[in-house]
Each structure stands twice: as structure tokens, then as C-alpha cells.
Amino acid sequence: MSPQPNRRATGGLIDRSVSLNFSFDGKQYGGFAGDTLASALVANGVTLVGRSFKYHRPRGFLTAGSEEPNGLVELRTGARREPNTKATTVELYNGLAAMSQNRWPSLAFDIQSINNWFSPLLGAGFYYKTFMWPGFLWEKLYEPLIRRSAGLGRLSMESDPDSYEKVHAFCDVLVIGGGAAGLMAALAAGRSGARVILCDEDFRFGGRLLSERTEIDGTPCAEWAANVVAELDGLPNVTLLPSTTVFGVYDGGTYGAIEKVSDHLETPGPGQPRQRLWKIVAKRSVLAAGAIERPIVFGGNDTPGVMLASAVRTYVNRYAANPGKRAVVFTSSDDGWRTIADLAAAGIEIAAVVDPRLQVAPSLGDIAKRAHAPVFLGARLREANGGHALASLSIIGADNRERQVRADLLAVANGSNPNIGLTNHYGHRPVWNEEISAFVADVLLPGMSVAGAAAGRFALADILRTGADAGAKAAEDTGFSATMPPVPATTADPVSATPLWHVDKSRGKAFVDFQNDVTAKDVALAAQEGFRAIEHLKRYTTLGMATDQGKTSSVTGLAIMAELTGRSIPVTGVTIARPPHVPVAIGAFAGIHTGPHFKPTRLTSGHRWAEENGASFVEAGQWLRPQWFSRPGEMDWLETVNREVLAVRNGVGICDVSTLGKIDIQGPDAGILLDRVYINMFSTLAVGRARYGMMLREDGFAMDDGTTARFSETRYVMSTTTANAAKAMSHLEFARQVLWPELDVQTVSITEQWAQYAVAGPNARKLLQNLFGLAIDLSPEAFPYMGVAEFEFGGTTVRLFRLSFSGELAYEVAVPAHYGDALIRRLMAAGAEFGVTPYGTEALSVMRIEKGHVAGNELNGQTTAGDLGFGRMMSKKKDFIGRTLAARPGLVDPERPVFVGFKPVDPSRRLRAGAHFLGLGKAATTANDEGYMTSVAYSPNLGHWIGLGLIKHGPERLGERVRAYDPIRNGDVEVEICSPVFVDPEGARLQHV
Amino acid sequence: MQFSALSLAYNALTGHRHWKPTWRDAAPKDAYDIVIIGGGHGLAASYYLAKEFGFRNIAVLDKGWIGGGNIGRNTTIVRSNYLLPGNIPFYELSMKLWEKLEDDLNYNTMVSQRGVLNLFHSDAQRDAYARRGNAMRLEGVDAQLLHREEVRAMAPFLNFDNGRFPIQGGLLQKRGGTVRHDAVAWGYARAASDLGVDVVQNCEVTGFRIDNGKVEGVETSRGFIRAGKVAVAVAGNSSRVMSLAGMRLPIETHVLQAFVSEGLKPAIPGVITFGAGHFYISQSDKGGLVFGGDIDGYNSYAQRGNLPVIEDVCEGGMAVMPMLGRARLLRGWGGLMDMSMDGSPIIDRTPIDGLYLNAGWCYGGFKATPASGFCFAHLLATGTPHPTAEAYRLDRFETGHLIDEKGVGAQPNLH
Ligand SMILES: Cc1cc2nc3c(=O)[nH]c(=O)nc-3n(C[C@H](O)[C@H](O)[C@H](O)COP(=O)(O)OP(=O)(O)OC[C@H]3O[C@@H](n4cnc5c(N)ncnc54)[C@H](O)[C@@H]3O)c2cc1C
């Protein structure tokens, strides 16, 4: 391991006993436990870490936290590659591999940095003004070029191998941010017994206390923080969530948070998720997310080595890593002066302190004196020089004289913006506070309070006090009695700031948004071109839209716009931060719902039997249904399906129909409810009988069909299609609870509680007789077509329905679902002597098409009962849902396509659903479109393809030939319009004895 | 100033001192021939009124900044792959207008025809797409039905056997794609303004002056403005604005969210939609993956959404593109959707003389912007509907001549 040239031998919150190896751009480095990737790079003297988006300018770290715009890397390799990862937020681990991005061929030598020379052409919005001629070159040339050079990191394009989890949590007080204010808030609320969750995005609690050298209650502040954390850790009602960022506030006091569970490991441990998405419902929350320091816009302010002063202190104090040897401090805030002492203590020479203010508090001057730092008041920086690393700075003094100062580090402080993005999440805009020259939250979200620097309090004593206050108040609001913890003693440092947004007459490119390469000139161009509304500024220049979401740029940009347009900052306006507060992995939002767990898989109770018997399964919504049961030697699915169909029509077959919706309807008014939801009558249905019914939507279109059976005066069992089971259920519930609450009727879905099999074919009765013996009389007289019965058999209840979808003599047998497996095995055994054949949905569908029954393809939500041939079934004797609107002219228009059958004129031709019908010899235009094919099948009984469809005046045109036009599959078949019932039109087979 | 590579170069050399405001930030006059409310489709309407029909004395009023409505909040997808005869010719007209928009406006709106691919996962879905594709072909619109292997050649990164709903194929419209949304708003505003249209920002309409069944003008936050005709095109605010004229609309307002990822090197060629969940995605020229899914499901005027839909959308994304797991969602936002009872729009006169309505765009109105503007202008100028927009009548809910692409009925949150 190479030595870490910029690491000091002592101090900092790193564990020098745990060395870690890592690589950046293929080169090996060493760091320590407690480092971030950024701090380890700083310790190793790596200053060039990235290239900017547009001009490919060399960039180093600007910050040490999640607001970082420059230091983005591709972390990890292979399928685990994570583009655009902020090195400042990555906890170092052994074996870490990171690559710089958006550069070619290398970080040090990047060809596209020539964009820098063309920058006069590439100002804000340049692309709106050019690349228009000739038009076709946009997709062919200009756009591919733009696309290739845009974008930052690369996706791996491989499936994410890691898993994600979700947690639902509830608490009284959620504390967001574990710095001085957050710790005090958690302590106050935690001691009261309230359920507290404390989140911090850092892997270590303490916030700025980890990076400063001040004392609290006489102990170094980081140590004080550790003591508080230890106490909180001991409280059973407090949950500590380090490495967890609250990213959004949603309706009803729900907070979204993302926890990095194993991002500090090379790969997650066995069974360990990579990240965990928390959905925290909190009665109260305390936002104590601190503040983010602001840069100053001046020429070359993006040169590697230019850092925010707070970041410099973090590297120097927390990580004992010196980001330079000779530093300048450029500050408009008292806070920035703090950096001087820390630099001096770390052995870094201070070349100059530059403050645009003409006067500062005497205590600040003393700091500089002790550090032997030359001070320039009323001064500013005109330009930073250096390519890949800062070399010198030019200072313009109060006397307007320009001086060059050699330096490899510049610490910039310009006051801070309270970190209040989360307070915007309901759409509230923050307000400008002139006193602290920053935006603060105005309208607070229900249950939320703000404390510490997030509330615009920058003195440590105030931060501690407001934290304790907010925590105690939140606990009290949720019914606990809290005593304010005593506010510990601190030194009183001055905290005033007079921001300098932009150095006038500075030389070179002056960046506002570092990552998106938005300069002060771009802001000026936007103003000149009329994009003065703050949202226009953002969209036109892309200011604040990079992965740092404008945390270091938005306010500065709008302040410059305010200056340029001679308006105040509040009049200029402010953008609203939207969730997520930090970018969140898409995988984390999906959680476990990936791959086979995307949606629940619903299996019928006979699934295992079907698997054992060679079924191929097909998705029917969330269900898996046997599609067919291939036998050895069969060449393709069609051969199998033909066999199954013929077996049913000539013998007997069994099909699992458990997935059809089943609804139990009970109560004295059950018949009335059914009369109102079906177009036909059900109250008159005899007990022990079933009837086919169709229901409409309120708007008069057909919704679903099925049979409903009556088992007693007060009890019906409805069946629906598989697809519409839930829809029909909610329709009934709506009718029962909202439309007619006075009806005495209850409904419940029993789809999953009952297994149901269709037994169909000439031998169906014999098979069932074999099985049920004397338990039920199946003679045609005792159990006619459309008869139903419920009886006890083998220790359970059996429901038997004499229904037929196939047109054969057929029954459906239902038993409670846990007997489903036994039922299919017993049915198969009972049918063995008749060569019983299991069949799947495909054969089922062939037979229903042969019989002209409508199904999902016809019940497509765009057809009326009349279209489907059920016009006459619509009762005139009663009212029902959809009746009135079904009478609208558009729904009874005689020009509407109507349901009929189709067969190919040349019987060898295949038909396809989705073909449109055109009159023979007519041009293929919308005007000549007469309808479309809804369902097709190969009929092994007829030996050719058959189809169902909708065509204008269909029933009046039987025998006429039309064209089934299918250009999308190169198909054009002449077909003859025919009756939709292809097999056994008299229905004789139903009555087989 | 005419925009071109040349003018850009000239300005680059002269320090960009010569660029003018993109459009005049006009103050409202006392009276106009036509006042259009809403700076989305309204901008397009004003442009065509000026350019095609010679109107000059027109204003477009918006309560906020131009482009702040849905025109600047959508997922930028344009296509004309519709099913029903009432819709296809209209959206195809729009597509044709997109295809020449840059020439027309002299503004690069980045109309990018990289294709729209709708995946299907079942036989029934395939047949439904075949029906749609054939309907498109009947209208002369390009459509292709792709097999699974053809889809794989286009988008090898898809999870074809995603463990739940394997991809069987897709319906492709090659001419579909994306358009840079803000540029559409700005480009129309600039072109309209250059033709003399007053584009008035920060001017909220607070009432209508209606006398004897005829509209006289509008009350606004910047005073009364007299108008010969008033045209309303306020999308998600339609119900609120029309209630000021005493009208109730067959429209509900819902929130639709959209999301963008961090910038990535090119990963996804065109627009792809998942057929077994609600998820659609494309990649912007800047590199962000732009994606979305279902509306939030409840009526709302809040321009924000909630977590369950974000999770649902990302689940759909991971099902077809498990490579997205480590890409990060950077930003999400919500827009107000004017969801109509059949999922199709309304471009019509109203029972109030001189008051015209353009609404009901649901979440598909961005692609309609040029045709909507064109047809609205036609209606305003000639008093008769444009032939491609004849079906978009306000009274169709009464007569039953619905245009229900999805077949879900009068339940706006399902369209
Ligand atoms: C997240 C999302 C994704 C979408 N994705 C797509 C997509 O991919 N493809 C697609 O085709 N469509 C998409 N859409 C839909 C599309 O954006 C809209 O249908 C379309 O932009 C509506 O156009 P508009 O011009 O009527 O509305 P808008 O652009 O919203 O314009 C209406 C304007 O009216 C103004 N206004 C309202 N009330 C008043 C008042 N009282 N006085 C003055 N002004 C007023 C508003 O400020 C607003 O600017 C999406 C929408 C959203 C929200």
C-alpha cells in the first residue's frame, strides 16, 4: 500500500489500525476505516476527480457531503456498477473500485475538453437555435452526437444482482438529521419515553460536530456527540438509523427514507439487502438537517483545489487529510474564518484571507493574527488559475490593486442555505430572510418543526437550544411529558455573513452550477432572452437540475438573476425542491417486487396435479392456468389442442375453471340486487337452477357475463369471467353499499375458497356417476341442463352445476379449495375407463369459439349487449344498471358492428384476430372499415380456421364475402360471414343422454 | 432574429449581445378579438390563428410563467398509434405538424422520431395491438407488429423472460418519439409573439363577463379584458375555470407523476412501454431516463403525488429492465390531468355564445399540442370544427358517441 502523502499522523475520526485498499481509475491507494472515498482520495493527494458535463473541465471535490456536484464516480464493477455516485458519500471499504466518468480516453487527457474552446457557441440553450437544417440530420447525426457526449456515468446494462427491502415504521417523533440540533431533539423526546426514530445520512451521527474543533460542555464536540449517541442507543424507545436519508414527505405524515444497509461492503452479506426503503409514519417530525455552505461565483472557481470552507474543515479535522499545502480563505461569512485556525493547526500555510467586507469582528482578526495570515478586507478574488490543480489566485484589494498569490487550496465561505428541501414537498415555497440572507421555511408541513441550522440558527448555542425545544415540544404534542435537557455550554462565535454572489469583472468562466456547467454568463444570457422567471432560468440554463439538485447552485443563480434584473431576491422568486431530496436507486423503490415476485402468482389448488401431468401454463392475469397438456410425440401445440378438443367432443374431458370469479350473494334482497345489476331477471330464477346473465357498466356498455345459480330463496352464487372477477365484485359492492344501502344483502368473493372443474363431453354424466354413485341423481329428469345442486360427499360439500361452455353435455363440480387436488385426482380416476382427457385454456377457447360464446376479446369494454347479440335479453320489465345510458343514440346506432362468425373462403387459410373487415374491392381506408375480428381458432371438428368478430349489419349479411385485412401481419384473407355457432347449432349435444 | 448555425456563430463572436427576448413579455391590452386562456395548447392555437387565419389582435393569458403547466411537465412522448377512427386522423395530423415544426417555428424543439414500442405479453394483447396497428394502417399511419426476436434486436437489454409476464412482441411506431417539451412552449410563444400575438404571463382569469348568454370578456388578476371570443385551454384546471362560467364538465382532475433519473450515457433507444404493468420510459438527449406510469388514482388539484405510485412504477420498470436497479431516481413531479369520461378530448364551442373549450387531454395531450392548436384555431376562426377533430364534441357523452380507446367506461381515473 502506498503511503498517504496528505494524511496527518494523528487526529481525526479515522481508525488508523484498520487499513483499507481501494482503487481509483485502476490505481491502487490506501485509506482507513472511517474514511469516505473522497477523504481517502484527498489523503492520497488526488485532486482531479472528474470532468464536467458540457465543457469537460477538470474538477476536484467542492464539498464533503451529499451536495457534491463534481466528484461523481462509477463505483464497483460488472453488474454492480453504480454510475454517478458521489464519492463524498461513499463509506470506504476494502476492495472498493471506482472509475472517473464522462471522459475519454482518460481523466487527465480528455479529448472533449476542446468543448471548452468552443464554449462561446455552447452557451445556455444553444441547441434551441441550431441543428435544424436539414431536418433529417437531427435523428441521423446531430442528436446521436449530442446523446453520446451528454449523460454522465454508464449503466452496467446487466440485471442488478442485489436485493432491496421495504420497512413500514411508526413513531411519535421522527428526527431528521443527527447533528447538534437533531441529537438534542432526539434526547429531549427520547427521555420522555416517546417512540423516536433518528435518521442521519452519514454513517456516523454528529453532523458538523464531527468536523469542527469547538467544545461543548468542556469536551471536544465530536466526543460530546458520541456520548449523546451512546445514551440514545441505550433508550429502548429510540431507533437510531445511521446511513439513512429521509428523501421525501408524502401525504398523511408519511416520510420516505433510504437506508444504505450494505453499501459499505464489497458485496452484501448472504440474505442481506443492499438498501432498505423506510416508509415512516410519524406523528411529529423535527427537521434538523443543517445547512449547506454556498460558493462564490468568480473566474475559474471550478479549478480543482477550490473547495467550500466547511468541506476543507471536514477533510482537515474529521479525516486528518490535508487538501493542500498553501491555502487562501475567501469568505464573506464569520464562519469562514474558523477555517484559518483549523488550517494552521493542520500545518497548512495560509497565504491570504480575503473578505469582501470592509470590517469584521475583532475576534476574527485575532484568529488570523495567531495564524500569521495576511488579511485582505474589502477584497475579492478575480480569478483562480491552474489547469488540473489550483496554482495561484489573483486578489483585488480594497485599493483595487491586483495581486497574485500562490496557493493550491482555496476555502470559500459565503454563508449557508438552511437545508429545507423537505419543507417544500407539499408545494410550499420558502421565504427570504434578510437577516441571515437565506431562504427559510415559511409554512411548515403538518406535524413538522425545524431546528438548528435548518431553521436559520447558526450559533451553536442556538442550535442546541432549538433542537432541545423542538424535541421536547414534539414529544409533548404526542402525549408525553418531556423535560428540556439542560442546554450545554458552548463558546459564542460570531456568525454573521454578507453574501457576495458574484465577483463583478472577474476573469474566465465563473460557474454557478458546477455539474451542469452553468456560468454567470449563461444566467445573463437567460435574462437577456427573457427567461427571467426563476423556473425559466432553471429550464433554459438547466441550473439546479443536476444530480446535486441545485443544493450549491440554485440560490446563487437566482441571486445573480436578481442583481441582473434589478429586482430583490424575494421578488425574483424561488424554485420548489421536489422529492426525492437525494437521488434514490430505482431498485429500492421496487423492493422485492422484481423477477417472479413482480406480481403475486395465483395458483389453483389443482396446480400441482397439472404440473405432474405435463401441463404448459399461461398467465391469466395473476393466475397461472394450464394452457394444454402435451403428450410425448406431439409435434406442436396445435396438435395437442386438436386432440384435447376432439377428446371432449367425442368422449370426456376435464378443465380447471377455478379461476373464474365466484361471488356468494346472500340475503332476502339478493334477487333484487341481481335484477338491478344484470340486464335479465334473476329474482324469478327457481331454486336449484342457474341462468346466464350479462351485466352492463353504468355507461351502458357490456361489462361482464357469467352464470348465476340459486341455491336457496336467499342465496345465489355468481360466476364471473377470470379477468373481471375483481371488477364485478367491486361493482356489486358499490351497488350494494353506495347505490342501495337499504337492500338486505351481503356479498363475498369466494373465488379462492372453491376449486371448480368442468367435466365435458358425451361421457361426462357417466364419469360423474362413477364418482358420486348414489350421492346424487344425475338423470336428465332429476338434474336437467342448467340445474344446480349442493350435496355432501366424502366428508365435504360439493356444488354441482350443469353448465356448458363447450356445448357438450357438461357439468362443473366445485369443492372447498383444499379438496381441489383430491377432486381432480378422483375425477381422473373415475374417468379412466372413458379415456378422460385433461384439457387447457386453449381447447376451452376453441370450443367456445366453435359455439359462438363471447369472451374477453368480445367483452372488450367497447361493445354493447346489442352488439354482442344480447339486445333482446335486456329486460323491459325492470330497471338495471346501464339501461338508461345504453339507450343513447350512439349505443343503438344501427351502423354499429355486430357479432357474427367468419370462415375463410379458402379453407386452407389461417385467420387472425385483429384483422379489420373491408368490403371486397374496396380501398383500404378508415372510411371503408366495417369492423374487426375478435377471436379465431382452428376447429378440428370442421377442419379449418373459424373466427368471431364484429361487422356492420352482420346478421343481415350471412353468406356475404368480405376481406379480413391484416397488413400488419401481411395477411389478407377473403372470408364469409356466417352464424357464430359453428358446431351443433341446434344445441342437441347439450342434452346428450 | 432568425435562428441558425450561422446566427449562433455570429453571436458567439460578438459576445451574444444581440439576442433578443424570446418573446415579448406583453402587458394585457383592454380588448382583443380573441382571448385564449392557458399557455399550453393555447400558445399553439394563437400561433395558428395568426399564421393560418390572419388574426393579429389576440392574447394568450397564463396565470403563471409560460410552460409552467403540463406542456412543461410531461414525459415528452409523441405518437399517433391510436385505435379509434375519432382519434387516429387527429393525432396523425399532429404528427405531421411535429415533423415540420422546427422549420415552421424556426426553433429547435428536438422532435426526435426514435420510435415508440409497446410490448405485449399475451395472445389477447397481441390481437388487440394487431387491431390497433391495422386501424393505423387503414389511416395511412406507420405501424409494425414485431415478434419477440425483432424486439430483442432493437432492445436486447429487456428482460424477455421476466419470471412473470414474458415478452411476446411489440407494436412499433417508428415515427413516434419524443419532443423537448419546454422548447415547444417557448418556440410557439416566440413564433406567435413575432406574429403580433400578446403572450401575457402572470395573468390569472378569475371570472367571465357573460351577458345574455354571450361572453363579453374575462376578469383577470390584471383587470378586465374585453374579448370577441374567449377560448379556454387550461387542462387540469378546466373544471375550475369553466365553473366560473357556470358550466360543469364531464371531467375530473387527477394527478399524474413523472420521474427522471440521473444523467446516463445512452442506454435506451426510443420510447418503450411495458404491457403487463403500467410503465413507460425514454431517455432524454441530456441522458436522464424519463419514465412514468399510472395516475395516482384519486381526484386532486395538488401538483404532487404519493409513494405507492412511485413504487408501482419502479416495480414495472424493474420487471422489464432489471438493469435499472442501480440507476437513481433524481426527481419526480406531478401534473394535473383533465381526465375525461371516455379518455378523449373535447374541442368544441360551449352553450355560451363566444366561449370555446379545449380540454379533456388526460395524460396524452402533449403529443396533441400542434393539432389541438391547429384545430382549435380552425374552430375559432371559421366557427366549424376541423375535419380531423369533429368527433371531439362536448355533447358526445349525452349522445353516446364516445371515443373510449381503453374500453374502461366513464371512470376517469382508469383512462
Ligand atoms: C407527468 C405527466 C406526463 C405526461 N406525459 C405525456 C406524454 O408523454 N405524452 C403526451 O402526449 N402527453 C403527456 N402528458 C399530458 C400533457 O402534458 C397534457 O395533456 C397537455 O400538455 C395539456 O396541454 P394544455 O396545453 O392544455 O395544458 P397546460 O400546458 O397545462 O396549459 C394550461 C395552462 O393554463 C393555465 N391556467 C390554468 N388556469 C388558469 C387561469 N384561471 N387563468 C389563466 N391561466 C390559467 C395554466 O397555468 C397552464 O399553463 C403528461 C402529463 C403529465 C402531467
Q: What is the pLDDT of residues A361-407, one digit of tens each?
A: 999 999 999 999 999 999 999 999 999 999 999 999 999 999 999 99
Distances (CA, A) of A32 to A26, A94, A244, A348: 19, 9, 22, 22
The H or E element that residue A230 is part of is helix A221-234
One domain for residues B228 and B96: yes
C-beta neighbour count of A341 within 10 angstroms: 18
Q: What is the mean pLDDT of residues A461-488?
A: 96
Query: By the CB < 8 Å criterion, does B239 face chain A?
Result: no
**Res A1 pLDDT > 70:** no
What 3 state SS string does B160-192 have?
CCCCCCCCCEEEEECCCEECCHHHHHHHHHHHH
| pLDDT tens column, B252-307 | 999 999 999 999 999 999 999 999 999 999 999 999 999 999 999 999 999 899 99
- Domain's final residue, options B308, B340, B372: B340
- The answer on B265 and B136 residing in a single domain is yes
Best to test chain B binding among A76, A89, A129, A277 (most B CBs inside 10 Å): A129
Q: What is the DSSP string of A569-621?
A: HHHH--PPP-S-SS-EEHHHHHTT-SGGGSSPPB--TTHHHHHHTTEEEEEET
Number of domains in chain B: 2
pLDDT per residue as tens digits for the range A147-190: 888 889 999 999 999 999 999 999 999 999 999 999 999 999 99
Q: Which residue of A has its CA nearest to B163?
A: A596
Same domain, B235 and B257: no
In the numeric block, the cell 421522527 is attached to A174
A573 and chain B: CB distance < 8 Å anywhere?
Answer: no
Over range A239-255, report the average pLDDT. Answer: 97
Please check whether residues B318 and B360 belong to one and the same domain. no
Q: Which domain holds residue B101?
A: 5-80+83-106+181-250+342-414
Among B109, B135, B324, the residue with its CB nearest the CB of A916 is B135
Beta carbons within 8 Å of A113's beta carbon, 6+ residues apart: A51, A55, A56, A57, A58
Together in a domain, B90 and B220: yes
Q: A446 at the B interface (CB within 8 A)?
A: no
**Does B382 reside within a domain?**
yes
CA distances in angstroms from B374 to A345, A457, B136, B352, listed in the order given: 70, 55, 21, 22
Final residue belonging to a domain, choices B304, B319, B340: B340
For A319-328, write each residue's pLDDT tens digit. Answer: 999 999 999 9
With an 8 Å Cβ cutoff, are A84 and B111 in contact?
no
φ, ψ at A295 (rounded to 5°):
-80, 175
Q: Are A898 and A952 in contact (CB under 8 A)?
A: yes
Question: What letter would DSSP give residue A212?
Answer: -
Which three cell numbers mark A185?
431533539
- Read off the pLDDT of each residue in A279-286 and give the average, rounded to a whole number: 98
Q: Are residues B95 and B168 in the same domain?
A: no
- Within a domain: residue B169? yes
Residue B111 maps to a domain: no
Q: Is the distance from the beta carbon of residue B235 to the nearest atom of ligand 1 less than 6 Å?
A: yes
Q: B62 in ligand 1 pocket by Cβ < 6 Å?
A: yes
Q: Find residue A258's DSSP bridge partners.
A: A245, A277
Q: Could you say which of A279, A703, A929 has the minimum Cβ distance to residue B138? A: A929
Q: Inter-chain contact A152–B262, Cβ cutoff 8 Å?
A: yes
Q: Going from the N-terminus, what domains does chain A have, and what CATH number goes with each?
A: 15-130 (3.10.20.440), 164-291+418-477 (3.50.50.60), 295-414 (3.50.50.60), 508-581 (1.10.10.1100), 607-659+753-847 (3.30.1360.120), 661-749 (3.30.70.1400), 894-991 (2.40.30.110)
Cell digits of residue A564: 441582473
Cβ pair A341, A335 in contact under 8 A: no
Cα of A801 from ligand 1 centre, angstroms: 54
Of B286, B307, B323, the CB nearest to A254: B307
Pairing mode, if any, of strands A254-260 and A96-100? unpaired
In the DSSP assignment, the letter for residue A227 is H
pLDDT digits (tens, 9 = 90+) for A787-808: 999 999 999 999 999 999 999 9
Do B304 and B355 fall into the same domain? no
State the nearest Cα–Cα gap between A533 and chain B, in angstroms: 7
Residue B355 lies in a domain: yes
B266 and A CB contact within 8 Å: yes
Question: Quick check: CB of B373 below 6 Å from ligand 1?
Answer: no
Q: Are residues B24 and B98 in the same domain?
A: yes
pLDDT recorded at residue A469: 97
B205 lines ligand 1 (CB under 6 A): yes
B382 and B395 co-located in one domain: yes
- Provide Rg for chain A, Cα atoms: 38
Q: How crowded is residue B1: how many other Cβ atoms within 10 Å of its Cβ?
A: 11
Task: Supply the mean pLDDT for chain A.
Answer: 96
The half-sphere exposure of A713 on its side-chain side, counting CA atoms within 13 A, is 1
Cis peptide before A134 (omega within 30 of 0): yes
Q: What is the rounded average pLDDT for all residues in chain B? A: 96
Q: What is the pLDDT of residue A2?
A: 63
Same domain, B375 and B328: no
Rg (CA), chain B: 21
Looking at the structure, do residues B240 and B269 belong to the same domain, yes or no? no
How many CB atoms are closer than 10 A to CB A117? 10
- Is the residue at B159 inside a domain? yes
> Which of A665, A949, A947, A648 is CA-nearest to residue A805?
A648
What mean pLDDT is predicted for residues B171-191?
98
Residue where one domain finishes, among candidates B325, B340, B355? B340
The reported pLDDT for the residue numbered A568 is: 96
pLDDT of residue B412: 93
Q: What integer is the mean pLDDT of A505-509?
A: 91
Return the CATH number at B130: 3.30.9.10
* Domain-embedded: residue B296: yes
Looking up residue B28, the CATH number of its domain turns out to be 3.50.50.60
Of A126, A147, A545, the CB nearest to B285: A147
Q: Of the candidates A401, A620, A516, A619, which has an alpha carbon nearest to the alpha carbon of residue A151?
A: A516
Do B244 and B259 reside in the same domain of the chain? no
Q: What is the pLDDT of residues A730-752, one digit of tens each?
A: 999 999 999 999 999 999 999 99
Q: What is the pTM of this model?
A: 0.96
